Amino acid sequence: MDYAKLKGMDSAADLARSGKFIFAIKLIERMNPELTREQAKAAVDSLGYGKAKPTRLPR
């Protein structure tokens, strides 16, 4: 999939650059309703600013 053609990638890149990965994922999901959550995560990960970390670690 060509992530560069998704709507909102510029704004998501700004959010991911500042560490707001969850907001970037939600933005991609909202602007591209045909994507699944996993595809939106992959799109944000493809920006190269790190990976979204879970808020809770499993015990």
pLDDT tens digit sequence for 22-57:
999 999 999 999 999 999 999 999 998 876 555 566
Query: Does 58 fall in a domain?
Result: no
Query: Does 9 fall in a domain?
Result: no
Range of the domain at 33: 21-50
Instruction: Fill in the amino acid letter for 8.
Output: G
Query: Does 2 fall in a domain?
Result: no
Q: And the tokens for 47?
A: 């920006």
Q: What global pTM score does this model have?
A: 0.80
Q: How many domains does the chain have?
A: 1
CB 3 within 8 A of CB 9: yes
Give the confidence band of 4 by pLDDT, cuts at 50, 70, 90.
confident
Query: Does 3 fall in a domain?
Result: no
Q: Give residue for tokens 């970037």.
A: 24
